Structures are given as structure tokens and as C-alpha cells.
Amino acid sequence: MHWMMWVFWGSIVTLLVGSYVVDFLTGRKYDFKEQEKSLNQNSASADSLREIARHDQQNGPF
């Protein structure tokens, strides 16, 4: 059971160190802020809003 602890914590430390090394080597060029949507995503969003509005108009309050 003692070896399981070393495997578990070793894998956690390996992931943390690996992510730091990748971040350092790439020069921190990755930005995880919201990216601009593509034209396809914008048209899909507009289509879904039109479809919702169409169903709201067809169905009465009851």
C-alpha cells in the first residue's frame, strides 16, 4: 500500500512539473480567455434564437 501513495503523489507532481515546463518553453503564449466566435458559431446561435422565437409565437399561453 505504501507504493500506491508514491505512485499517486508522483503522478500529481509529474503533471504539475510537466505543465510548468510546457508553459515555460512556450513562452506563456497560450491565453485561455474567451476567443472570438467563428462565423459558423455566430450563425448557429442566430438560428437557434430564431427557432426559439418561432416556437414561442406558435404556442399560445396555454
pLDDT in tens, 8-62: 999 999 999 998 898 888 877 766 666 666 778 888 888 888 888 876 666 656 5
pLDDT score of 51: 86
User: C-alpha dihedral over 41, 45, 47, 52, to 10 degrees?
Assistant: 160
**Cα 25 → chain centroid:** 23
Decide if pLDDT at 4 tops 90. yes
pTM of the predicted structure, to 2 decimals: 0.44
List the grid coordinates of 7: 505512485
